[in-house]
Amino acid sequence: MSWYKDGCSDMTKTKKRKDQMIHWYGGEYITPAEFIVKIHNLLDDPLNNLMQMDGDMYLSDYRTCMDAKWRLHNAMNDLKKSGAI
């Protein structure tokens, strides 16, 4: 797997095995590496804003953090059901 700007991996070279796919949204399933990148992208801006504003948070940032929380929660449930964890 090659690496390029911002430490993100080149997802085109990642093998997409069915047993490794994680439910993202609706009927979309992604690889664990893609999941990490997408969760990072969801959380990066809101958490930076939170840090810069000394704990104050915009409602839109809160919503984005909650979206990431539920995606992580659902992924954990899928991993438990499959016996991966």
Nearest to 32 by CA among 9, 64, 5: 9
Q: Work out the burial of residue 60: count CB atoms within 10 Å of its CB; fewer than 13 is exposed, 13-18 middle, 19 or more buried.
A: exposed
Mean predicted confidence (pLDDT) in 26-41: 93
Query: What pTM value is reported for the model?
Result: 0.67
pLDDT confidence of 56, banded at 50, 70, 90?
confident
Provide the percentage of residues in the chain whose pLDDT is more than 70.
78
Domain boundaries, the chain: 31-79
Nearest to 35 by CA among 15, 46, 20, 50: 20
